[in-house]
Structure 1
Amino acid sequence: MPVSPYVANLRAHVGHDLLLLPGVSGVVRDDAGRVLLARRTDNGQWSVPAGAIDPGEQPADAVVREVYEETGVHVAVEGVGGVATHRVEYPNGDVCEYLNVWFRCRPVGGAPRADGDETLAAGWFAPGELPELTEWSRLRIATTLAPDAPAWHAAPGAGHPALLDPTAL
């Protein structure tokens, strides 16, 4: 579902103006080290699976749901990869700032497939054979490479180039 009823209700009040929303991303690696990516319907770009957290939903539950909805792959959450805010300007003019928590995940079932609603394609990619990705996707992938790495965050007063492009989803 591209827009939840909760966000649709908020949009009815604020139009395209900025909304601050909680979001999640799943960086899923299989036993061969390949990364699961989905090709988005809204902009045609490849990305790690991601989406908004529904009211009352925990972030880990949201990432399990989002990865499955967008790719058909069931995952187990292994840990937090990082947290950051990221501004997004959608093609329809909606503006959001997501507080995004991304997770290291491993597949536990299912097979990559497009959902036909949010994704055009889904598949596994070897680290050296990734398609063109935004800096935002590359940041989430890079910060989850080491399974025991601490969760990434921008240092106080600092930013990161990946967090500055509002067209990168």
Structure 2
Amino acid sequence: MTEIIRKLRVAAYAVIVDDDRILLSRWLGPERPRWILPGGGIDHGEDPYDAVIREVFEETGYRAEVQRLLGIQSARGPLNLDGDDLDYHRLRVLYEAKVVGGELTFEVGGSTDRAAWVPLADVPALDHVESVDAGLELYRNRPANGRPTGLG
């Protein structure tokens, strides 16, 4: 029997919507590439606000300006990563942001390989991570408690 390892990952992500499009990155996940909000892990000692600006630039080539904190998504579930069974807890800090400079480029040698503006109407059919749905829910509904409903 394989021992289950507990892992916590804290990350910051940006919801960037412009003209009925959302900016997404293609994450090279353990199962297959999937679309995700631009963002990623917060380095030790790094403020989440600074992390999301850094991550958006690394993954998309755009300079972002944070508009406001949207909320926090907490998701927990099993994950098999490199043969290890994980009880994986993801804590995501979600910000609304806008592009203020730069140009669309792709990350090389990182956890993503593409970035794209995707029409909001196309998101439901897109192979994507659940944080995209949570981020859009927070962006659209702006709940006072900053917690997406039903998306864990």
Do these two structures clear the TM 0.5 threshold for a shared fold by scoring above it? yes
Give the CA RMSD over aligned residues. 2.4
Aligned to 1:86: 75
Secondary structure of residue in 2 paired with 1:40? strand
Aligned to 2:20: 33
Alignment partner for residue 113 of structure 2, among 112, 120, 139? Answer: 120
Higher strand residue share = 2
Contact 2:37 2:131 survives alignment (8 Å): no
Q: 1:61 and 1:120 mapped to 2: Cα distance? A: 22
Deviation per CA, 1:112-144: give whole Å up to 9, x if none.
Answer: 222132212111112112333343321212211
What is the Cα deviation at residue 151 of structure 1? 5.4
Partner AA of 1:129 in structure 2: D
The question of 1:141 aligning with 2:136 is answered yes
Secondary structure of residue in 2 paired with 1:153? coil
Q: Report which stretch shifted further, 110-119 or 120-129.
A: 110-119
Secondary structure of residue in 2 paired with 1:39? strand
Aligned length: 142
Q: Which ranges of structure 1 fall in alignment gaps of 5 or more residues?
A: 1-14, 164-169
Q: 2:15 and 2:48 mapped to 1: Cα distance? A: 14
What is the Cα deviation at residue 65 of structure 1? 0.7
Moved over 4 A (4+): none
Q: Which ranges of structure 2 fall in alignment gaps of 5 or more residues?
A: none
Q: Once the two structures are aligned, what percentage of the paired residues are identical? A: 27
Contact 2:21 2:118 survives alignment (8 Å): yes
Q: 1:94 and 1:40 mapped to 2: Cα distance? A: 20
Gap change, CA 1:129 and 1:51, over 3 Å in 2: same
Partner AA of 2:114 in structure 1: A
- TM-score, normalisation: structure 2: 0.79
Q: 1:94 and 1:78 mapped to 2: Cα distance? A: 37
